[in-house]
Every structure is written in structure tokens, then in C-alpha cells.
Structure 1
Amino acid sequence: MRRTVSCRGAARVAAAALLCAVSACDLAPDYQPPHYVLPDSYTGTAPFTVARPGEADAHAAWWTGFGDPTLDRLETLATANNPSLQAIAEQYTQARDLAAEARADLFPQFSAGGTTSESKRSAGRPFPGTSNGGNIAALNQIQASASWEPDFWSRIRNQTRTQKRLAQASAADLASARLSLQSELAQDYIALRGVETEMAVYRQSIQFYENAVRITTLRLQGLIASGLDVARAQSQLSAAQALLTDAEANRGILVHAIAVLVGADPITFQLPTGSVDDLRVAAVPAQVPSALLQRRPDIAAAERRMAAANSAIGISRAAFYPDISISALGGFQDTGFSLASLPNSIWSIGASAVLPLFEGGLRRAELQRAWSQYAQQRDQYRATILQAFREVQDGLLQSTQLATETRQQQNAVQAAEKAQDITLRLYTGGLTNYLDALVAQVTALSARIALVEVQTRQLQARVSLAAALGGGWSAASLPTEDAVLPFNPIAPLTGHDREPRPDGTGEPSAPRPGG
């Protein structure tokens, strides 16, 4: 009875091994993306509302919410012309080609070739009588060969799957870089408008201070004021002029930065002046935090890298099993040109199998490293999610608080300007000293500049919030694993495969992911 059971067990093991070989066992662990941080019922901070999957995506051109046609035009130029973004797009193209290279090992490899040669042996060679042939001989040969490695352990499939998922991560990286570029451009543009608004404030203050200098000079000439008042007024005027000069320099630097972002020459690039008041405060998008995992391209990239690391475990596991390959060669060989003759045919068929027996723990170390790399990617995925929710919460907090601070600062400006006008009139009437007027002037200028800074920060906070929410990108924009492959391996070579242009660039070899 024991012998029967053992025979049956051995038969089952043999049958399982045969079935595994025929069906190509996948040794990678079953992959399920982990769920971190966020329960399904989480609603977050207002104005977030609970939404259902399948709702329309947010508008990708989120910057249009600021209502500035110049900003809209600059964003379009940056997306199309920024060289750094184009370089990252080439990285995605290369990742797609790496996936195609890995897939190529799944197919049989065919080759054909031919040789022709004529050679002469030396008449002074040792033992010349040992050969009955002449000293001159020709050899002509044509042959074709084929080789194939059956993927019994899914090593090649997992290599292909790994590269596909890394290509998907590269596509998400491209979307992240595009969103970062758009956000940086919007931040710089808003900062530019803020500096130009400050310049307008300084010019208005300079006019007020020039009037104060005239008043103090007249009072000095009338012997009803001291030279100290004139000196104080002149010092305040010069300080405001210096601040204006500094703001003009800052404007030039920001214009140059914007020029680089849109791929233009900073020397010739120009922008019309404007004001931060011309920008509309974009509405806070009413999205759910639970949809953030599908909105952020950096989260998608981290998840795809984690999936790629999972496939790499299958590659390391397959290294413990034999590598099997099949090859065949056939052709004709002759000393003349009578190649198409059956007696002159050559052929060989063979198969090989290599099984690792002992390599000092090499494959075990590789497998352990693959598991550690997966754990590393899993932790980085979780860290990316936590950082994403932090950025969203920071953006919401800043948007709410800065809106309140703007209203408060507007009240401070009104009070400071009123005090400035009153003290100057009192000083002109001789009812107070110029020090009171000077303090009021400094307070008013500081309040007006502080208001501009708060308005600028409020607009920039909306930019940061839009970027934290993914900028309208969604996981639906990410290409599938099969879609990242750049071409069909049995399709003929076409213009789809590009060569560099004379200027060193090239047209995209494949559509790039949108969003």
C-alpha cells in the first residue's frame, strides 16, 4: 500500500512538473497594490465632497481658472517647447524601446548569411606531402540558422512585464514633469505680476514722497521747519527709489526665467506689464481625496515601479531552474559555386539545458535582493501617498488662511493710507512734527507692499493646490502595459522609426501620454 501511494505521489509530481513546463509557470508573486492611509469613507477638508468613480475628470488646463490670456499662451508654449520636458519625453521613448527589446526574446531568432573565400597554403610548410590537395583552395557557403528559448519559467515574460511597467512609470514621470513645469511657470508668472504691482506701489509712493520733499522745503524756506525735516523726507524718497530699482531688477530676472521655461531666448524675450489684480483667484476644485490616488502621476509612477519590482522577483526565482534552448542550422557548402546540391548540404539540430548546481549562494542572494527591492518600492509608494495628502492639506490650509489674511491686510492698508494723509495735512498746518508724518508714510508703504505679497501668495497657493491635486491628470491617461510597446515586431520598418534631424533632434517616434 505504501509503494502504491508513493508511486501515485511521484506520478502527480511528474504530471505537475510537465503541466508547469507546458503552461509556462509564472514564478512572480501575485500582485495586488496595497491600500494605504485612506479609508473609502474619508471626505477630507472642505470644500471636498464625496464623489463616485466615473465622474468627469477635472479640466487639464487648470491655469485658465486665473483668467489671464497671457498665462494661457505661455503655458501652451512651455508644454510644446521646453527642452527639459522634451528630454524627459525621450526617456519615456527609450523606456518603451527597452520593453520592446525584452519582448524580442520571446520570439524565435532567425538569421541568414553567406561566405566566400579563397586561400593558399605555403609551399614551405612542414610535411608538405601529407596532403594530396593543391596549395590553393576555395570555400563558398550559405546558411540559415534559427534559435529559440522556450520560456518555461516565465523568466522572459517577467523581464518583458518588468520593462513594460517601468515604461508606464516613465510615462507617469513625464506627466509629473509636465505638471511641475506648468506649476513652476504659473508660480513665476504670478510672482512677476506681484513684482510689477509692487513697482506700481513704489511709483505712487515716490510721487507722494516727492510732494513731501516739496512741502518740507517750502516750510524750511519759510523758516517754520528745520533742515532735519527736509533730510528725513529726502531719505524716505531715496529709499523708495532704491526699492523700485530693486523691483525692476527682480522683474527682469523673472522674465528671463519664464523665457527659459517656454524655450525662448532670454535676450530677446519680452512680456507686457500687468498687475496681480488682473488675475482671478481660481476656485478650489471640489475633488475627493479618495480620488487622489488616481489623480497624481507621481503616485502612479511609484505604484508601477512597485509592480515592476514584483515581476523582478519572478526573474530571480526562474534562475533556480534550467535554461533550455533549441537551435537549428542548415545550408550548403562547396569549393565551387555548385551550392544548390544535396550532397553539399550541411545541417545541425540541437538542444541545450543548463541547470545551476552550486554558485556559492549567488542566486539566493539575487532573490533576496529582489524581495528587498520590492519592499523598498512599497515603502516609497506609501511615502509618496503621504506626501501627496500633505501637499493637498497644505494647499487647502493656505488657500483658506490667505484669503482671510488678504481681507485683513486690505483693512490695514485703508487705515494706514488714511493715517498718512491726515498726518501730512496736520504737518502742513503746523499741528504735528514731521516724524509723525514719516512714521505714517513708512507704515502705509509697508502695508501696501504686504497686501501685494499676500495676494501673490494666495494666487500661488492655488497653483500649488492645483498641482497637488494632479492638475487634471488621471490614471486613465496612463498607457496600458501593451500600449507602451512602440511597434509590432513583425511589421515592416516605416517612418514610425525615426532618425535624428540635422539639428540634433527628432520627431517623436510614438504618441506620448496625454494629460
Structure 2
Amino acid sequence: MSVVTGRSVRPTSITLIALGLLMLSGCSMVPDYKPPEIPLAAQWSAGQGVGAVAGGQWWREFHSAELDQLIARGLTANYTLKAAVSRIDEARSSAQVVGAAQYPALNLGGNFQRQNNYGTTPKRSVFAEATYELDFWGKQRAAADSADALAHASVFDAGTLRMTLGASIADSYFQVLSLEDRLRLAQSIADDARQVLELVQIQASQGAVSNLEVAQQRNAMQTFEAAMPPLRQQRDQALYQLAVLVGAPPEGFHLHGDGLKDLQVPQPATGLPIGLLRQRPDIQAAEARLQSANFDVGVARAAFLPNLSLDLLGGIDTLAGGQIWSAIGTLSQPLFAGGQLKGQLHFDQAHVQELTDSYRESILEALQDVETQLSAARELDKSYALNQSAVDSAREAARLAQVRYRLGSTDFQTLLIVERTQYQAEDTLLQVRLQHLQAAVGLFRALGGDFSTAAIASNSSVQVAQP
């Protein structure tokens, strides 16, 4: 049913009508929002490093100036992150478009008409028109709030990408340095094996050993040399990946770092499990989308109720010789839409339930992430200490075996075994060292990285409200 009225009234009357109708608006059909509850433990299973976690440039804890420069470059020049910042602008602009429906639409127009029927009759008119849909049930406000929540989610999405990007740059940087260390180790062991081969060849020429020992030592040397090409290929792949992460072309990209030996392994403070809800941008993004869906339910509910709109027109007509004002109100009530309104409401309610479960799942996954990284950091710390002892033992065994072999006190097979044992022990130590550093990076990332959205928002041309 619709009722339309139109008559000439005084401007003050139009103002009073508009103000009266505006005072009627303000109801809301949006359900009360309550964050989904999920049981959280009082502390982590590891029970260590409970100090308060503060967002910041966690990568500086490794004390590598080159890593600091790479991450700073990546957070500025990475194209995927730039695209995420653009998506913030897109989301805020979309929210601005949706929010515009809450305000009157004002238009200014005019026309000029000249007729020549046995004379000249010029006609000029200038008019202003205002159209406003009263948001009595809060439908437009709920739609605007939904769009704002999605815009916040895009900020948190960019924060998640920033968190992941910083960790990926650090991981790739450490991997390149580790592979450089492993290449130097393989070359050093191969050089030592070559010296032993020369010794064995001399002994074979004197009849002290057979050609079998010569062939075995040559095989050992070649095995060490054969390990280097795959390591170079892995090093190059990690280096090129790092170049892309920091927004640089792979051609000519190189590092100046001298291995992992000078890097420190930090011990991040983990805070409490409840802190993740404020630190992890992916959790905040999930909740922002849940809030948006909750507002959508309000929009769907309001669609069942009457809608009132107001059109105001005022102007000057030179032919009539005065001012013309009119007010037209339109009232409409949905009666039958083939189940469209009910279907939309059920869809939005189901969407809220879906996102509620997704939000809870994101919290559980974040808790799992932290616990996994805590376990990795703890066990790799022990593993590194044990492997360091194994390397020390292997080096001493190799030294003694070479001395005893030169003196003829041990056989060649023993020398061959200790050579390979030393290489395997040192190579394993380098790999554990890399895993140890990456576990620290993983823990920083699991705790939310620097969890700073200010840096993302500052790069956006559209102002983004901070959480």
C-alpha cells in the first residue's frame, strides 16, 4: 500500500515535517552482538616466557642489519602488500558508498523554455530537490555498519599479510645464509678429502696400500663434491624467492651476510593465550566479518517492515511569478515477494553461524600455532646443543683418525668412516641451526608479528579507522 500527497507549503512547514520524521527514525533491528565464547587456558603448555608481548620490530632481535634492511624494504616495496593496501582503499570507498544512503540526496536543477506562438513567451525555472528515505528501522545504518566492519576486516587482512611477509623474508634470508654455510662446509670437507686422497695415492705408489683404498677415497671426495650443485640450486632458488618478497628483480640480487654464526636466537615473550585475541590480525579479521554478518541480519529484518521516503522540492518559476514548494511522502509495505525476504533473512542468519564457527576455529588454530612453535623452539634448543656436542666429537675423532692413519696405527676404513661422520654431523648442525632460527621467527609470527595496523593505514590514501 502506498500513500502519496503533494501540495504547496511554506519552507518552514517543510523543515518542521523533515525534523519530525527524522526524530522518529533511530530504531534498530540488529541483534545484540556478543563475541563467541571459547575456553582458553590460563597459560601456555610450555609455561615459559609469560612476559607481556608488545608489538614492534621483532626482527631486530636477531641483530642483523641486513635482515632489518630487507624487511624494511619488503614492507615498503612488496607488491602483494601494496595490493592489500589498495584493497583497504576499495573497502573504505565501498563503505562510503553504502553509508551515503543514510543522508538526503540533494540535487539542483533548472530549465529554460522559449516559445514563439504569435509572440515570445520565455520561461525560466530554478529548483532544488531533496530525497530522503527515513531510516526508521535502522536498515541503512545497519548496512553502513556492515560495510565499515568489512573495511576493518580488510585492514586486518593487510596486517595478516604483513605478519606473514615479515616472517617469510626472515625465513628465506636465514635459508640462503644456511645454504651458503653448507656449501662452504661441503667445499672444506671435499678439500680435506682431496688431501687424504693425495696421501693415499702416495702410499699406494709405495705399495703400502692397494688401489682399492685409492678408489674408495676418490669416491668419498667425489661424493662431497657432488653435494654442492644441489645446494647451489637450493641457494639460488631461496635467493630469488627472497628478491621477489622484497620487491626486487632476481637478476643481480645478492646478499652480504656471512652465514648464520653471528646471528642470535631470541627468546620471545609469549604473554597469555587471551592476548592472541588482540594481537593476531587474522583473528581480528574473522571477528570483523562476523560483526558485518550480524549487521546484515538487521538489514534483512528491517526489509519486512514499512518504508517511508520524503521528496522535497522548492524553486522559482518566472512564468508563475513566484516560489513553488512541494513535499511528497511515500509509504510502502512489502506484502508478497515470493519468499525472497524470508530467504535472505535465513541466509544472513546462517552466515552468522558459519562465521561464528570460523572465528572459533581461527582462535584454536592460532593457539595451536603458538603451542607448536613453542615446542619447536624448546626442542630445537636442546637438539642444537646435542648436535654441537656431536660435531665436537666428530671433529676430534677425524683429527685423531688422520694422525693415526699417517702413523699407520689405524686402517683406511676407519679413516673413511670418520670423514663421512664428521661431514654428516656438521651438515646436520647447520640445518638444526636454521630450524632453530626459523622456530623463533615462527613464534614471533604466531604471536601476531608486530601486530601494528598503523603502518598499513598510513600507506592508504583513505583514512582507515583503527581498532
Decide: shared fold, TM above 0.5. Answer: yes
What does the per-residue CA deviation read over 1:398-422, in whole Å, with 9 as the maximum and x for residues that have no partner?
0110000111111111222222223
What does the per-residue CA deviation read over 1:61-92, in whole Å, with 9 as the maximum and x for residues that have no partner?
00111111110111111111111101001101
Q: Is the 1:48–1:289 Cα contact (8 Å) retained in structure 2? A: no
- CA shift, 1:433, in A, is 3.4
- CA shift, 1:460, in A, is 0.2
Matches of 1:306 and 1:478, distance apart in 2: 24
Counterpart position of 1:382: 360
Counterpart position of 2:12: none
- CA shift, 1:200, in A, is 1.7
Q: Is the 1:172–1:478 Cα contact (8 Å) retained in structure 2? A: no
Task: Mark the CA change 1:224 to 1:474 in structure 2 (over 3 Å): closer, same or farther.
Answer: same
Matching of residues 115-154 of structure 1 within 5 Å: 115=111, 142-154=126-138
Larger RCO: 1 or 2 (CA < 8 Å, sep 6+): 2
Of 19, 32, 35 in structure 1, the residue corresponding to residue 34 of structure 2 is 32
Of 154, 170, 173 in structure 2, the residue corresponding to residue 189 of structure 1 is 173
Matching of residues 281-292 of structure 1 within 5 Å: 281-292=265-276
User: What SS does structure 2 have at the residue aligned with 1:276?
Assistant: coil
Gaps of 5+ in 1: 1-17, 121-132, 333-338, 487-506
Counterpart position of 2:61: 65
User: What SS does structure 1 have at the residue aligned with 2:338?
Assistant: coil
What letter is aligned with 1:384?
S
Q: Is the 1:92–1:170 Cα contact (8 Å) retained in structure 2? A: yes
Pair 1:509 & 2:461 matched: yes
What count of residue pairs does the alignment treat as equivalent? 448
Matches of 1:148 and 1:19, distance apart in 2: 10
Q: Is the 2:300–2:344 Cα contact (8 Å) retained in structure 1? A: yes
Deviation larger for 156-165 or 221-230: 221-230
- CA shift, 1:196, in A, is 1.3
Of 249, 258, 266 in structure 2, the residue corresponding to residue 265 of structure 1 is 249
Q: Is the 2:25–2:135 Cα contact (8 Å) retained in structure 1? A: no
- CA shift, 1:344, in A, is 7.8
What letter is aligned with 1:415?
S
Of 352, 370, 383 in structure 1, the residue corresponding to residue 348 of structure 2 is 370
- CA shift, 1:289, in A, is 1.7
What does the per-residue CA deviation read over 1:348-393, in whole Å, with 9 as the maximum and x for residues that have no partner?
4312122111122111111111110000110000000000000000
Q: Is the 2:92–2:462 Cα contact (8 Å) retained in structure 1? A: no
Matches of 1:425 and 1:321, distance apart in 2: 95
Matching of residues 219-298 of structure 1 within 5 Å: 219-298=203-282
User: What SS does structure 1 have at the residue aligned with 2:102?
Assistant: coil
- Using the aligned pairs only, state the percent identity: 28
Gaps of 5+ in 2: 1-19
Q: Is the 1:310–1:374 Cα contact (8 Å) retained in structure 2? A: yes
Matches of 1:240 and 1:48, distance apart in 2: 42
Task: Mark the CA change 1:364 to 1:478 in structure 2 (over 3 Å): closer, same or farther.
Answer: farther
Pair 1:358 & 2:359 matched: no
Q: Is the 1:31–1:307 Cα contact (8 Å) retained in structure 2? A: yes
Counterpart position of 2:109: 113
What letter is aligned with 1:208?
D
Matches of 2:464 and 2:21, distance apart in 1: 41
- CA shift, 1:428, in A, is 2.8
Counterpart position of 1:11: none
Task: Mark the CA change 1:512 to 1:364 in structure 2 (over 3 Å): closer, same or farther.
Answer: closer
Task: Mark the CA change 1:322 to 1:21 in structure 2 (over 3 Å): closer, same or farther.
Answer: farther
- CA shift, 1:141, in A, is 5.2
- CA shift, 1:313, in A, is 0.5
Pair 1:47 & 2:36 matched: no
Q: Is the 2:183–2:232 Cα contact (8 Å) retained in structure 1? A: yes
Matches of 1:461 and 1:194, distance apart in 2: 14
Matches of 2:221 and 2:109, distance apart in 1: 87
Pair 1:216 & 2:194 matched: no
What letter is aligned with 1:350?
I
Matches of 2:323 and 2:465, distance apart in 1: 52
Task: Mark the CA change 1:217 to 1:443 in structure 2 (over 3 Å): closer, same or farther.
Answer: same
Of 268, 274, 295 in structure 2, the residue corresponding to residue 311 of structure 1 is 295
Counterpart position of 1:158: 142
Task: Mark the CA change 1:513 to 1:458 in structure 2 (over 3 Å): closer, same or farther.
Answer: farther
User: What SS does structure 2 have at the residue aligned with 1:328?
Assistant: strand
What letter is aligned with 2:26?
A
- CA shift, 1:513, in A, is 7.7
What does the per-residue CA deviation read over 1:83-102, in whole Å, with 9 as the maximum and x for residues that have no partner?
11010011011111111112
Pair 1:459 & 2:437 matched: yes
What letter is aligned with 2:226?
A
What letter is aligned with 1:509?
S
Q: Is the 1:294–1:474 Cα contact (8 Å) retained in structure 2? A: no
- CA shift, 1:343, in A, is 3.8
Matches of 1:236 and 1:115, distance apart in 2: 96
Matches of 2:464 and 2:224, distance apart in 1: 51
Counterpart position of 2:186: 202
Matches of 2:125 and 2:251, distance apart in 1: 65
- CA shift, 1:220, in A, is 1.4
Q: Is the 1:197–1:275 Cα contact (8 Å) retained in structure 2? A: yes
Pair 1:411 & 2:389 matched: yes
- CA shift, 1:274, in A, is 1.4
User: What SS does structure 2 have at the residue aligned with 1:278?
Assistant: coil
Counterpart position of 1:400: 378
Counterpart position of 1:424: 402
- CA shift, 1:103, in A, is 1.5
Counterpart position of 1:502: none
Q: TM-score if structure 2 supplies the norm length? A: 0.88
What letter is aligned with 1:152?
F
User: What SS does structure 2 have at the residue aligned with 1:277?
Assistant: coil
Task: Mark the CA change 1:290 to 1:344 in structure 2 (over 3 Å): closer, same or farther.
Answer: closer
- CA shift, 1:248, in A, is 2.2
User: What SS does structure 2 have at the residue aligned with 1:342?
Assistant: coil
Task: Mark the CA change 1:250 to 1:154 in structure 2 (over 3 Å): closer, same or farther.
Answer: same
Of 179, 182, 185 in structure 1, the residue corresponding to residue 163 of structure 2 is 179
Matches of 1:436 and 1:350, distance apart in 2: 103
Pair 1:100 & 2:105 matched: no
Q: What value does the CA root-mean-square deviation take over the aligned residues?
A: 2.9
Matches of 1:204 and 1:421, distance apart in 2: 14
Matches of 1:474 and 1:404, distance apart in 2: 33
Task: Mark the CA change 1:400 to 1:419 in structure 2 (over 3 Å): closer, same or farther.
Answer: same
Matches of 1:115 and 1:437, distance apart in 2: 104
- CA shift, 1:154, in A, is 0.3
Matches of 1:23 and 1:352, distance apart in 2: 15
